[in-house]
Structure 1
Amino acid sequence: MTTPALLTDLDLKAIAISKALAADAVEKAGSGHPGTPISLAGVAYLLYQKEMAGDPSDPAWLGRDRFVLSIGHASLLQYIQLALAGYGLEISDIAALRTWGSPTPGHPEFGHTAGIETTTGPLGAGIANAVGMAMSARREHGLFDAAAPAGQSVFDHYVYTIVGDGCLQEGVASEAASLAGTQQLGNLIAIYDDNDISIEGDTDIAFTEDPSARFAAYGWQVLDVDWKAGGQYREDYDALHAALVQARAETARPTLIRLHTIIAWPSPTKQGDESSHGAKLGAEEVAGLKRALGLDPEADFQVPAEVLEHTRAQAAERAAVLRADWDARFTAWQAAAPEGSALLERLRAGRLPEGLDAALPHWELGDAVATRSASGRTLSALAPVVPELWGGSADLAGSNNTTMAGEPSFLPASLAVGRGDGPYGRTIHFGVREHAMGSILNGIALDGLTRPYGGTFMVFSDYMRPAVRLAALMGIGSVFVWTHDSIGVGEDGPTHQPIEHLAALRAIPGFAVVRPADANETAAAWAEILRRRREPVGVVLSRQNLTVSATPEAAAEGVRRGAYVLADAVDAAGAPADPAVVIIATGSEVGVAMAARERLSAEGTPARVVSAPCLEWFAEQDEAYRARVLPVGAVRISVEAGIAMGWREIVGDSGAIVSLDHYGASAPGPRLFEEYGFTGEHVAEVAAQALARAQA
């Protein structure tokens, strides 16, 4: 009895058509990246039609494997297979590549096209997202089905990613791959398209290392599939399939399949040439490609009905078999695990647990607590109530206070050192890998069931900015915890004192920066962050102790609104008065504003203090609320230990800005605040001068 061929004649014809479609789409659009979608068409076809678990009728099926196209510029590679498999794209959508309103934009976009798991394009980000997805799968196994052996739970699945030379040159990929090896993520499979070509030419001009040796050193299984072996190029899908089978059999290591290819093959004159990477091939070259593929050189977007019927029927039939098996196992799991089933239902519905607010810790007015410490205590209090919340730090857990008390580490069994540590732990050790941490958090958030957070010092948010921007672009709930938020860091000096960072992060559309003023605002901030499940947030926390000025009730309502009246205006006798001055402050500077208010009130100038933990949330409020908090007739003063950028539009032309528009110094934090004018006395003087100008 002979074994059926891996690919039928219709499959091979579909691969040829996929190559031609890629060339046609870029030619019609006038721009794009045809080379890789041409050369890897068969790779993507094999994955979608023969290897990965998926359901075209239900792209979000819980039991699916995840696919990440880390080389996002090759978006056609994925779009064409989504169309052929029946995920909702049509051939007309392929022809509409890069046009207004098309479901086929220049790079894959999460939430825009069915079947796209993450937004990719910035090289290296995708493989780091894939690492997060693989970690998420393991955590979900432990959260819902810990008793099931590894690989035998309905929550187990594989994460596939296609990467290129550019991805492997990016530092974020190195960071993420290193952590993936340490974590022994056997459910992660990367196919490396080693075509020796980058935009500027042969990769040898900048990339001469041995990636196989590097990934082996990271702890990956490395498999080599050479389609160029023997001097005659041959797309050997059987060899690639065998490598994928071997990859899935390896449970203790992620796998890198190094696939040696020729870009744009079999284009007649541009195969193996950098000119095919990022520009249309030209009509003559496209016609030659089609001749080489055995297709009509005069026909564009040619997809015979029998081919499309075959690919969609094959994908649907395969999905039906996979779903029948998975659905039966899922039903059995639901019956055996009612608590886990209820948790899953809550998470998939996006509901928060009962008792969230009751679990929050409270502090008394006048207590002195660093907001990083308050954050750590809040996380520990939330741990038993919000099981979906998990995370860690980039080797700064003790400083960031990101470890939930008593929660074990997320580690392979061979590296477990503490009680309860293991593959299903809750505390992630990212190592000194801030950029990868951000992208891994995004991958976990994209997987959809859990809520991840990761911490480092505020100044190192610079290393994370690309991941933060992508989180905002996708609208996913990654939580970035940044401590040591100002010159209050003190003796570590200007290298560790963020100055421009608040303004830079606020410049990211769709991203919220939350800088609580005290411990109660910090607890309220975490509650509000959890309510905003699909929004990325950066929570910015102090190293130094801050006096608690807000009651838990005021903080809960005020933080939700983004800004609120913390202390209203009074006259010299202490009676309520309309504010002549409104002092708006964030974080540690709210205490400075309170001191200035006291001085101004004593001098007969009624002053209101507005705590503004989140300007983005405040901007969401209706005009009436914003006008009540910031009345038009009062002179506005902003106080924040960062650059002035962004505050003028809030304080207006008649207002004043107390800011820090230069770097700090190495000295105790209180001394720096005094030297740079962040004192109640100085803020009161600035306010008095602004009021005098306004009344002149």
Structure 2
Amino acid sequence: MNEQLEKTAVNAIRILSADMVQKANSGHPGLPLGAAPIAYEVWAHQMKHNPENPNWMNRDRFILSAGHGSSMLYSLLHLFGYGDLGIEDLKNFRQLDSLTPGHPEYRHTIGVEATTGPLGAGLGMAVGMALAEKHLAARFNREGYPVFDHYTFVLCGDGCLMEGISSEVMSFAGTNQLDKLIVLYDSNSITIEGSTDIAFTENVGKRFEAFGFQVLSVEDGNDPKAIGRAIEQAKAEKGKPSFIEIKTKIGFGVPEKEGKACAHGEPLGVENVKALRESLDWPLEEAFAVPDAVYEHYHALARQGAGKEYFWKQMFEEYGEKYPELKAKLEAYYDENSPISLLDEEGFWERSGKAEATRSISGKVLNELKDRLPNLIGGSADLGPSNKTVLSGETDFSAMCPQGRNIHYGVRELGMTAIANGILLHGGLRTYAATFFVFVDYMKPMLRLSSLMGLPLISVLTHDSIGVGEDGPTHEPVEQLTMLRALPNMHVFRPADEMETRAAWYSALTSLKTPTCLILSRQNLPVLENTGKDALRGGYILKKEAGEKADLLLLATGSEVSVALDAASILEQEGVSVRVVSMPCQDLFEEQDQDYQEFVLPPSVANRAVIEAGSSMSWGKYVGVNGCYITMDGFGASAPAAQLFEKYGFTAKAAADRIREKLL
């Protein structure tokens, strides 16, 4: 191998990255300049990947957890020939509608495996990918046929390791011995405010040893061969994930900025870009110009990757001949549309006729589904029995039993959600994550990424209101419904009974690019009439008005739907014509056409009221300024649930009195 050519190939990443940031007059040049040798060694010699088929099932994954260094990733994708990512795209870095946004975005730029930017998130998603690989390998690999046999590389920086999520997900990875996870630590001891010594003095290596990692170090981050040797050592370790600390210099090659905080997040400046070219002995002065020999070198490396996929395909073809049933099952794992048939299965929509908590109903539905959807796995943040999310008769995922379908996340809600995102990003599996609804606050940053990436993550969130009772206001969600409803591309589904819970699960499983939060009760809810598949439209008429025209529209969700029905009965005895609308999912209702929305909520009916044991803030559009809000706009209290519902006015009599006083 021509060492000079390789050196120039590494510097091409640096030059393109610096030119991108300089032209945009915005970005983060420091990481690409320091970490380019790491990226080159991984992509050129350690990863198996094929730019001609970025979705190859058994490709190695690379996640840039330090997503602010996106210009480095775009340089790699361009040089290796991913899609049509050309020089013009690099020139449009951080510009409107470009393929090169400020931070990497999944589904937006070909070859980007995950949306990263919130520091540490990439570490969690990498763990999820490594988990998925281990699970699928245990289920499908046979001797001589390593169908799933790939590594997950994740590049992180000091900021990623300071964020608390890193401890959650790295502890999980070590506990479960995800030995095909390789963490590459760009260790340059600099953050925005200066030296890491001002806030981060821990022994990171010892910390990762405590997590259960093999810990390796490379003293010279400019030595790709040393980096390669460390990665080979990581690959040789069977039984532990690996953490490689690689000492680098932020802003390498720029004398005025090398090793300084000012290299992190601001353009280098024209003179410093010129100085960079001089210090690297870069042969071309023109911005974005790369020698033909470098392009040829990268294209040759890409052809090697295509060859690796070719040989894998040959092996997989033989596998299919020898194990046709396994191959068919694997193909079914990747069939996103398989849950659609549930809509026509009468058994799925049968009523039990029993008053139950929606969390319990959800648990029954989940266990009905587990055999029909064998690629469905998931778990809870140490609350499986309470969330009713344990798959009965299935083993637990662990280092010793990677084929298990019940995941024990431990008390790690933030990490759990990031890992679940990674499972979905890997492909081949559907997954759910569960906890008490109030603790969705811990999940929120990663749920936001679920929505942004278009991942159909299912969040099972139980104990949904003041119905939690004696645990008191710390455990009683109030504002969380509003928070989740504010997220773009998120379905927030709060069912009122068994049939709406079945609809919620059907909606969640058939969603391909929108995550779903199932908001479920702790307490038993009564059996309701007329609920069912109509709930799939988000909102529907549960009880039609008695007269020709409604005098009042009464909206409700979850446990308050039965309260609304009973309140309507009281008011109708007084001659008021009341329509009751169940709206388990505002988001789905908004996706219906205007004619349907106006059919359910006629604009001519001005008198409107809502009953929901949560914040009033998400109901203004439907109820209006002059509407009646029977909601929770303060914190709850510690007492038995029935007493709390009475105290805060969530009874039929109290609701009827309030509506009469406000509207009638």
| TM-score by shorter chain over 0.5 | yes
Aligned to 2:441: 462
Residue 608 of structure 2 aligns to a residue whose secondary structure is: strand
Q: Which amino acid aligns with 2:250?
A: I
1:181 alignment counterpart = 174
Say which of 133, 136, 140 aligns to 1:140. 136
Shift of residue 545 of structure 1?
Answer: 0.3
Is 1:294 aligned to 2:281, yes or no? yes
Q: 1:190 and 2:183 equivalent?
A: yes
Q: Percent identity?
A: 45
Other-structure match for 2:578: 607
Counterpart in the other structure of 1:231: none
Letter in 1 for 2:558: G
> 1:264 Cα shift?
1.4
Deviation for aligned residue 1:448:
2.0
Pick from 145, 152, 163 the counterpart of residue 159 of structure 1: 152
Q: 1:344: Cα distance to partner? A: 3.3
| CA apart distance, 1:273 | 0.5
Corresponding residue SS for 1:467? helix
Cα deviation for residue 652 of structure 1 reads 2.1
User: Which residue is equivalent to 1:417?
Assistant: none
Kept in 1: contact 2:192–2:264 (CA 8 A): yes
Query: Cα RMSD (Å) of the superposition?
Result: 1.6
CA displacement at 1:306 relative to structure 2: 2.0
What whole-Å deviation, never above 9, does each CA across 1:495-554 have from its counterpart, x for those lacking one? 000001100110011111000001221122111111112211111000000002045xx4
Instruction: Report the 3-state secondary structure (helix = DSSP H, G, I; strand = E; otherwise coil) of the residue aligned with 2:334.
Output: helix
Asked if the contact 1:267–1:289 (Cα under 8 Å) also holds between the matched residues in 2, the reply is: yes
The structure-2 alpha-carbon separation of the partners of 1:121 and 1:105, relative to structure 1 and needing over 3 Å to count, comes to same
Shift of 1:349: 4.2
Number of the residue aligned with 1:678: 650
How far apart in 2 are the matches of 1:242 and 1:578? 78
Q: Secondary structure at the match of 2:105?
A: coil
Counterpart AA for 1:352: S
Tell me the residue number matched to 1:516: 495
Residue 88 (structure 2) pairs with residue 92 (structure 1):
yes
Q: What letter is aligned with 1:655?
A: G
2:561 and 2:583 mapped to 1: Cα distance?
A: 9
Q: 2: distance between equivalents of 1:109 and 1:460?
A: 27
TM-score, structure 2 as length reference: 0.97
What 5-or-longer segments of structure 1 have no aligned partner?
228-233, 414-421, 571-575
Give ranges in structure 2 of 5+ residues lacking alignment.
none
Matching residue within 165, 169, 189 for 1:172: 165
Indicate if the aligned counterparts of 1:286 and 1:297 stay in contact, CA closer than 8 A.
no
Aligned residue in 1 for 2:39: 44
Q: Give, in whole Å, the separation in 2 of the partners of 1:122 and 1:499.
A: 26
- Asked whether the equivalents of residues 73 and 106 of structure 1 are also in contact (C-alpha less than 8 Å), the reply is yes
Partners of 1:288 and 1:297 within 8 A in 2: no
User: CA shift at 1:336, angstroms?
Assistant: 2.6
Q: Check if 1:595 corresponds to 2:563.
A: no
Displacement of 1:146 in angstroms is 5.1
Distance in 2 of aligned mates of 1:238 and 1:296: 24
Q: CA deviation at 1:347?
A: 4.1
1:307 aligns with 2:277: no
Partner Cα separation in structure 2 for residue 389 and residue 256 of structure 1: 30
Alpha-carbon contact 2:49-2:306 (below 8 Å) kept: no
Cα deviation code 1:185-239 (max 9, x no counterpart): 0110010011000000000000000010000000001001111xxxxxx722111
1:390-446 per-position Cα deviation (integer Å, ceiling 9, x unaligned): 101000001100111111100111xxxxxxxx1110000000000001111111111
Farther-moved stretch of structure 1 (628-637 vs 96-105): 628-637
Q: 1:11–1:311: 8 Å Cα contact kept in structure 2?
A: no
Render the CA deviation track for 1:443-495: whole Å, top value 9, x for unaligned.
Answer: 11111211110100111000011001011011111111110100000000000
Asked whether 1:555 is paired with 2:552, we answer no
CA-CA distance at 1:58 after TM superposition: 0.8
Letter in 1 for 2:316: F
Name the counterpart of 1:566: 542
**SS state at 2:215 partner:** strand
Distance 2:523 2:369 in 1: 23
The correspondence for 1:472, drawn from 444, 451, 473, is 451
2:217–2:246 CA contact under 8 A, matched in 1: yes
2:114–2:122: 8 Å Cα contact kept in structure 1?
A: yes
Task: Give the aligned residue type for 1:206.
Answer: A
The 3 A distance-change label for structure 1 pair 540 and 334 is same
Query: In the alignment, is residue 649 of structure 1 matched against residue 649 of structure 2?
Result: no
Tell me the secondary structure at the aligned position of residue 140 of structure 1.
helix
Taking the TM superposition and a 5 Å limit, the aligned residue runs for 1:319-330 are 319-330=305-316
User: What residue in structure 1 maps to residue 603 of structure 2?
Assistant: 632
- CA–CA separation in structure 2 for the residues paired with 1:344 and 1:9: 45
Counterpart position of 1:416: none
Instruction: Give the Cα separation in 1 of the matches to 2:162 and 2:529.
Output: 49
Q: How does 1:390-539 map to 2 (within 5 A)?
A: 390-413=377-400, 422-539=401-518
* Residue pair 2:556, 2:612 contacting (<8 A) in 1 also: yes
What secondary structure sits across from 1:565 in the alignment?
strand
Task: Give the stretch that moved more between structures: 307-316 or 349-358.
Answer: 349-358
Listed as ranges, the matches of 1:54-69 within 5 Å are 54-69=49-64
Retained in 1: the 8 A contact 2:537–2:589? yes
Using the alignment, how far apart are the partners of 2:369 and 2:141 within structure 1?
21
Q: Relative to structure 2, which stretch is displaced further, 576-585 or 368-377?
A: 576-585
Does the Cα contact within 8 Å between 2:340 and 2:510 map onto a contact in 1?
Answer: no
Q: 1:71 pairs with 53, 66, 70, which one?
A: 66
